[in-house]
Amino acid sequence: MDDDDSCGDGLLNFFGPTWEFYLREGQAFNLHTTGFEQDCYDRHFGSGVFSIFDYVVCYAGSVFEFANDWGNNDGLPPLDHAFGGPGIDPLSLLGNYTVGDPDEFEFDLTLGAIALTDEDDAELSLVKTCSHPGEVALAGQPFTCTIVVSNAGPGLPRNVVVSDVLTSTVNPLDYSVGQATFRVNAEEDTHPCDAPTDAGFECAIGTVTVGGAVTISVQILPLKPGQFGNSGSVTTDSVEADDSDNSGNAAVDVFLPVIVDISPGSAINPLNLSKKGVVTVAIISTAEFDATSLAIATACFGDSGDPAQRNCTEEHGTTHVVDADKDKDDDLLFHYSVLETGIDLGDATACLRGTTEDGNGFYGCDAVSPM
């Protein structure tokens, strides 16, 4: 560095550094610099020698350098120069540049293009899952579908777009698709995808870092029971040697929530596990729902925590229609052998789960008091 001492020219002389980066068409990039010029005091810093003569020279200035104000650590004029922008082809920017104030500070640089090797090669993969609270998805409660797009590299993929397709046996008027958002790697901030429709959405996520992932989430609110199929796929303008893992599927069966009453008429629903007894389980009708209209194909009752232990054999071979809750509406009754339900001492809840003849599921739970 030349600090303009005596007959110096005041130029900062150094070479480098070199930056390599992608330049998107139509997007500008900026060269920004800040700094301070060296003052007279800096040359004595750390020398251990600073006489009164040195102080006078630095304070008052040299007979040769009155104009330079040696005693001030003057700031260099800030440089902020933009290259490119909307409508400008990045290749038209290649060449040599001198930017800045020629009387103060100049920056010489060269813009050049680097031939692509593996920078434009990527290996994307997509995993699709759907989840819901509780044992089953229920009508009236949202479930969440998640897409994770990963990139094994070696380069950054361009124009990465995820397409999501939703199919359902439920009428589109009876479900809604929320706003899908995506999150980059472990960042907390989320970004919106395109506006959804009842058939799905698209999400332009830009790129995916090497070794990183982009996570897309969307909530679906079903108002009636039925089957939902959800498939996602990812595309890129970059080169992919293997796109066989660029899609994924997930399915969700939405169940009808029903009101279950175990041992109707009892407040504590006692179950005697030491005797070979039968427990009565009722699906209760409401003003909006007729339990007797359910054409039962299968129904299993028992331990809420272990569905595999439930009893799927109705003790009498068929359901019964009875006003179980004494409200003058008919309800649907099931009977199960207590010892076959998987309910143990300490269990607090038991559940009834089944399907109707049209393929839709139903589900409900009630408290129990095993003894």
Residue in the structure block whose two tokens are 């102080």: 55
The pLDDT mean for the chain works out to 88
The pLDDT-based confidence of 70 (bands split at 50, 70, 90) is low
Helix (H, G, I), strand (E, B) or coil at 323: coil
C-beta separation of 363 from 357 below 8 A: no
**Do the domains 258-370 and 124-255 match in fold?**
yes
DSSP 3-state percent helix, strand, coil across the chain (nearest 5)? 10, 40, 50
- Tell me how far CA of residue 56 lies from CA of 69, 94, 182, in angstroms: 12, 50, 64
Q: What is the pLDDT of residue 213?
A: 97
Q: Is pLDDT of 152 > 60?
A: yes
The pLDDT-based confidence of 2 (bands split at 50, 70, 90) is very low
In one letter, which amino acid is 275? K
pLDDT tens digits for range 6-51: 555 555 566 667 887 777 778 888 998 887 766 677 667 677 778 8
Among the ranges given (93-107, 223-237, 246-260, 305-319), the one the predictor scored with the smallest mean pLDDT: 93-107
Q: Could you say which DSSP state residue 75 is in?
A: B
C-beta separation of 276 from 341 below 8 A: no
Question: Which pTM was predicted?
Answer: 0.70
- The CATH code of the domain at 124-255 is 2.60.40.1530
Residues contacting 47, CB < 8 A, separation 6+: none
Boundaries of every domain in the chain: 29-111, 124-255, 258-370
Helix (H, G, I), strand (E, B) or coil at 319: coil
Q: Burial level of 254, CB count in 10 A (0-12/13-18/19+)?
A: buried
Q: Which CATH architecture has domain 258-370?
A: Sandwich (2.60)
d(CA 185, CA 210): 11
Greater pLDDT, 109 or 229: 229
In one letter, which amino acid is 310? R
Percent of the chain with pLDDT over 70: 88
Q: Is pLDDT of 75 > 60?
A: yes
d(CA 238, CA 232): 19
Residues contacting 173, CB < 8 A, separation 6+: none
- For 100, the token pair is 């800045």
**Mean pLDDT on 177-184:** 97
- For 261, the token pair is 């009453």
Q: What is the pLDDT of residue 6?
A: 54
Q: What is the pLDDT of residue 73?
A: 61
Residue in the structure block whose two tokens are 């009834």: 352
Helix (H, G, I), strand (E, B) or coil at 154: coil
pLDDT tens digits for range 334-350: 999 999 999 999 999 99
C-beta separation of 319 from 357 below 8 A: no
d(CA 176, CA 169): 13
